């Protein structure tokens, strides 16, 4: 089947690696202006060829360690990690119209959305590109069962070719019918999310270099928010500045819209609204930003709008959140267990202050494994592990007074775990008054 499809692609105008490769946005990169700015800031431009080899090697290593013959990837974040290919990333998160295969035997196949086979042409590690079969109701309508069976039959052929009988295959996410049809075909299925989260945990030097560039771009956009702000803007108008700054600097999207002002900052998690920001308001936001090279920048700041003098309550709340960040960030050392982070972390007393949902979490292409919880959550959702060099985590703090001030403070920093002390990747000022 694969040879026939590859031949049909060639008939459309050449091998998929040749068609439009030099015009692909990943191949074009962030551009010479941004790269010059990053070099001037002392940053290294990542080697994407080496990054791709490293990531694919990480996936195959996890397949071997967990005893899988291959993995089917439906999550666009996992497809990007394994193949460095993208296409309508947010859209395909809810429309299963592109997917990938990575075999323990070294095979890599990408199935692309309609007539988009050329989108994978920039990465020579991809052996083959095929047209995807859409089996969601949106794409297939009442023929969804027929298309799900077609999808599964093609994968059963791939598995037979690359794995042989009795294959054990990981899959990260899939609707019920295709999953069932694979099992009916004799395939033993396991958790692809486990494979991919573990693979993505340790960042290579090139991934760290890419993240440093993304942080630099994000912080430039944050600076535009501060300089462009004036009282009378709505929360949405202020938030739009970060979106614009991200996109023009090679970023991709922002995962949430968490920006709030004044009384909307306590409790936390309000998304940007039509509220007009007033002088003296506390303004807090969480970037949750997928930036250049598809690397996430997840930092938070809270500041006083309009250059007003902070109140005593605002200063106290900010001081507590900053203390939590400073004390807990210093704990991110290699060899420290997740349980130790939970037990050693500091936060203001829960009976007096609201806090964030977690203490730390991993970050790479997006929020990633692990998530480190508060002591009171351990019995319900806690799990252990060990910090290793190359992991990147954010340190979270939210402080919202339960009894007095109507406003809260959200702060967050991004740290690289090194061989010794943690390195703070985010450098943007954390002051209450910028």
| Contact indicator for 324, 348 with CB cutoff of 8 Å | yes
Asked if pLDDT for residue 5 goes beyond 60, the answer is no
Distance from chain centroid for Cα 197: 11
pLDDT tens figures, 27-54: 888 999 999 999 999 999 999 999 999 9
pLDDT tens figures, 212-267: 999 999 999 999 999 999 889 999 999 999 999 999 999 999 999 999 999 999 99
| Contact indicator for 191, 170 with CB cutoff of 8 Å | yes
d(CA 330, CA 181): 49
- Give the containing element (helix H, strand E) for 239: helix 235-248
Domains of the chain: 2-200 (3.40.350.10), 205-424 (3.90.230.10)
The pLDDT of residue 360: 98
Q: Give me the half-sphere count of Cα atoms (radius 13 Å) on the Cβ side of residue 104.
A: 18
The pLDDT of residue 20: 53
Asked if pLDDT for residue 12 goes beyond 70, the answer is no
Residue 116: pLDDT band by 50, 70, 90 thresholds?
confident
Q: Is 9 left (phi over 0), alpha (psi -120 to 50) or beta?
A: alpha
d(CA 191, CA 353): 38
* Residue 117: CB atoms within 10 Å: 23
């Amino acid at each position: 089947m694969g040879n026939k499809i590859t031949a049909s692609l060639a008939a459309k105008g050449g091998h998929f690696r040749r068609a439009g490769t030099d015009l692909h946005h990943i191949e074009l990169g962030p551009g010479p202006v941004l790269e010059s700015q990053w070099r001037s800031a002392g940053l290294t431009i990542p080697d994407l060829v080496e990054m791709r080899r490293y990531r694919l090697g990480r996936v195959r290593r996890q397949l071997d360690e967990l005893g899988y013959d291959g993995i089917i990837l439906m999550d666009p974040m996992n497809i990007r990690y394994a193949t460095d290919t993208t296409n309508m990333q947010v859209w395909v998160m809810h429309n299963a119209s592109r997917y990938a295969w990575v075999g323990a035997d070294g095979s890599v196949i990408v199935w692309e959305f309609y007539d988009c086979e050329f989108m994978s042409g920039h990465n020579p590690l991809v052996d083959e590109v095929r047209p995807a079969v859409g089996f969601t109701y949106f794409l297939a309508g009442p023929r969804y069962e027929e298309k799900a069976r077609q999808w599964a039959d093609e994968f059963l052929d791939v598995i037979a070719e690359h794995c042989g009988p009795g294959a054990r295959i990981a899959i990260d996410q899939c609707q019920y019918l295709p999953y069932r049809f694979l099992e009916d075909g004799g395939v033993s299925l396991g958790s692809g999310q486990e494979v991919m989260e573990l693979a993505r945990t340790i960042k290579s030097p090139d991934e760290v270099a890419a993240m440093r560039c993304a942080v630099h771009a994000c912080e430039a956009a944050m600076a535009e928010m501060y300089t462009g702000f004036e009282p009378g803007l709505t929360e949405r108008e202020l938030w739009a500045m970060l979106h614009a700054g991200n996109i023009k600097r090679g970023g991709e999207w922002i995962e949430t819209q968490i920006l709030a002002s004044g009384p909307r900052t306590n409790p936390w998690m309000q998304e940007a609204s039509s509220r007009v920001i007033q002088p003296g308001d506390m303004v807090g936001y969480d970037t949750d930003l997928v930036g250049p090279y598809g690397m996430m920048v997840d930092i938070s700041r809270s500041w006083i709008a309009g250059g007003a003098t902070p109140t005593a309550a605002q200063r106290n709340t900010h001081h507590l959140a900053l203390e939590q960040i400073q004390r807990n960030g210093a704990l991110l050392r290699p060899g420290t267990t997740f349980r130790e982070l939970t037990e050693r972390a500091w936060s203001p007393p829960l009976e007096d202050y609201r806090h964030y949902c977690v203490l730390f979490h991993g970050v790479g292409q997006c929020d990633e494994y692990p998530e480190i919880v508060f002591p009171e959550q351990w019995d319900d959702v806690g799990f252990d592990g060990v910090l290793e060099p190359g992991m990147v985590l954010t340190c979270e703090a939210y402080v919202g007074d339960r009894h007095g001030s109507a406003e809260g403070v959200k702060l967050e920093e991004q740290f690289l775990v090194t061989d010794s002390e943690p390195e703070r990747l985010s450098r943007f000022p954390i002051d209450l008054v910028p």
